[in-house]
Structure 1
C-alpha cells in the first residue's frame, strides 16, 4: 500500500469515527425510521481514486466506515475487471463482509447507445453486456448507461430507444435493469428522456434522475428546469442520484432546494436507494459526502 493511500484511508476512518459522535438533535432524527436507504456513488471519491489514494476494492469498506449501506460503482475504476471472476469474487466478498449492498454500476466509455449507425449501436450493446454480467454477479439491480445519439430531437429519441431496448432484452435474461441518467445533451431534457422511456416500453428500462445534471448545452448554457425534470423522470426511476456541490451555513445545498426535490421523489412513491454524488471542491470529498448524508437524513425525517 502506497503512503498516499495509507494516509487517505486513515483520515477517512478518523472522519468516520467523528460522525458517530452525533449531537442529541441528530440522534433524535435517527429515531424515525425512513423508508429510504443511502448509497454512495463512487464518483464522489474520483479525486482520491485517480490519485491512487484508494482503490475500487477499498471503496465498499470506506463507504461503510462513513455509515452508508450501499455502493454505486463507476466502471472506469475497474475497467479491465468486468470479466475477471477472481477480482469480482474478491469485491463481492468484501461487500458481504462489510454488510454493504451492491446497488448498480455506472457505465461510461462503451459507445453511444443511440448511435445513428445500426452496426455501431449493436457494438455498443455488445460492449455493455459484460457490465450487465458483472452487475448480476455482484448482486446489483442495474447498470447505468448514457443515451447519447446524434440527429434531430425525434431521431435521437428513436435511436436511443432502439439501443436501450436491445440492452434491456439482454438485461432481462440476467435480471438486471438498464437505467439512464440525465447526463448532458438531450438526456438532460426531461421531456426527451421521459419520451424515450415510453418508446422503449420494457420492464427493465428506467431512469436515474440526477438532481444536478440538467445542463443540455454547456456552450450556450441551456438548461432544463431541474424540478420539472425530476418530476418527469421519477415515474421511471429505479434509482435517484443526490448530486451536491456547495453547502450553505445551514448545511443545505446552496444551489438547489433539496427539500423540494425529495418531496418530488417521495410523491412519486419511490422506495429505493438515494445515492450521494458529491462533486464540489470547497470542502474535501469525505466532508462533502458526510455533509450530503446529513442533509438527506435531515430531510428524510420530514417525509
Structure 2
C-alpha cells in the first residue's frame, strides 16, 4: 500500500491563494506521503510549463504522481456535444501521459433524474464513450476509471454495470470508500463488492445524521435524505477499521489517497486523516 494525498484535500488553501500546487506537493512530501493525486480544482493548467513543473517537482521530492482526476459527462443533448466531450477527455489523457501518471479518473455521467430506468437508458452510450477513451489511453499504458460519486453513478452495482459494459482491461474504478453513503449504501458492503475492480482507492469519512434531525449549516443530504458532513478520516461515523481491513485482505497493494472534505482547516484535517489511516492500516 502506498499512502498519499489528493490535492483536492487542500482545495481551501488553493482557493484562498495560501498555497499553489507546487507548494502543496512540498507539503505532501513533508508529512511523509508517498504520492500525490493531481486534481485540477482550485488551479488550472494554463500552459504546458506547469505540467513540466509538477512532474519535475515530484521527481525532486521523491514522491509519485499517482493519479490524475477530472470531471466529464457523456450524457449530452446532441451528438456534437457527445463527440466534443470525448475528444476533451482524450486530450486530458494526453496530459496525464505528459504528467507521467499511469492512472486517470474521469467522470462519466450526471443527471437530475437519477432513476435506474434512466441509468439503463444511458448505459450503452456512456460505456461506448469510456471504451473510446480507454482505447486511447492504452497506447500510454494508462488505466482509466470512474469514481463512485455524483449520485447518478454512485452505488456499487451501477459502477460495476459501467465497468462490465466497457469491458476493457484498462478501465476500472476509483473506489471512494466513503461516497457510497451519499446514496445510502452500506460502505462496508459496497467496498467489498467493488474492491476487485479498483485501480485506485480514496479514503474519506462522514458524519451521518437522520433525515429528521437537521444539524444546520455545513451539511448536505444523501439521496434518501440523511444529513452528511465531511469528517477527518477516523473521526467520523464510518467503520474505517472494517473498511480498510477489507481493502487490505483483498490483496490490494496500490495507491490510497486521503480525500479530506471536512470543515476543519484543510492542512490540519488532512494531516490528522493521513496519520489515522496509516495507523489503522497497520492495526487491521
Question: Displacement of 1:157 after TM fit?
Answer: 2.2
Match in the other structure for 1:33? none
Match in the other structure for 1:154? 120
Question: Displacement of 1:203 after TM fit?
Answer: 1.4
| Contact 2:75–2:82 under 8 Å retained in 1 | yes
Is 2:73 the partner of 1:92? no
Q: Comparing 48-57 with 262-271, which one deviates more in the overlay?
A: 262-271
| Corresponding residue SS for 2:33 | coil
| Contact 1:115–1:148 under 8 Å retained in 2 | no
CA distance in 1, matches of 2:119, 2:95: 33
| Contact 1:181–1:207 under 8 Å retained in 2 | yes
Please list every run of 5 or more consecutive structure 2 residues that lacks an aligned counterpart in the other structure: 112-116, 206-229
Match in the other structure for 2:281? 300
Is 2:176 the partner of 1:210? yes
Is 2:242 the partner of 1:260? yes
Match in the other structure for 2:209? none
Written as runs of structure 1 = structure 2, the 5 A alignment for 1:64-75 is 64-75=29-40
Deviations 1:23-76 (A, max 9, x none): xxxxxxxxxxxxx11110111111110011111222211111111120111123
CA distance in 2, matches of 1:89, 1:300: 33
CA distance in 2, matches of 1:140, 1:155: 33
CA distance in 1, matches of 2:248, 2:94: 31
TM-score normalised by length of structure 2: 0.83
Counterparts in 2 of 1:46 and 1:78: CA distance versus 1, 3 Å: closer
Q: Comparing 96-105 with 147-156, which one deviates more in the overlay?
A: 147-156
Match in the other structure for 1:63? 28
| Contact 1:105–1:135 under 8 Å retained in 2 | yes
Question: Displacement of 1:204 after TM fit?
Answer: 1.3
Is 2:234 the partner of 1:271? no
Once superposed, what is the RMSD of the aligned Cα atoms?
A: 1.9
CA distance in 1, matches of 2:282, 2:79: 48
Structure showing greater radius of gyration is 1
Question: Displacement of 1:117 after TM fit?
Answer: 4.2
Match in the other structure for 1:164? 130
Match in the other structure for 1:19? none
Aligned partner of 2:196 among 224, 235, 250: 235
Is 2:270 the partner of 1:289? yes
| Contact 1:141–1:177 under 8 Å retained in 2 | yes
Q: Comparing 156-165 with 40-49, which one deviates more in the overlay?
A: 156-165
| Contact 1:149–1:156 under 8 Å retained in 2 | no
Deviations 1:212-238 (A, max 9, x none): 21255xxxxx52222222222211100
The answer to which structure has the higher helix fraction is: 1
CA distance in 2, matches of 1:121, 1:39: 34
Please list every run of 5 or more consecutive structure 1 residues that lacks an aligned counterpart in the other structure: 1-35, 217-221
| Corresponding residue SS for 1:75 | coil
How many positions carry a matched residue from both structures? 255
| Corresponding residue SS for 1:209 | strand
Question: Displacement of 1:239 after TM fit?
Answer: 0.4
Question: Displacement of 1:127 after TM fit?
Answer: 0.7
| Contact 2:191–2:243 under 8 Å retained in 1 | yes
Match in the other structure for 1:133? 94
Question: Displacement of 1:171 after TM fit?
Answer: 0.7
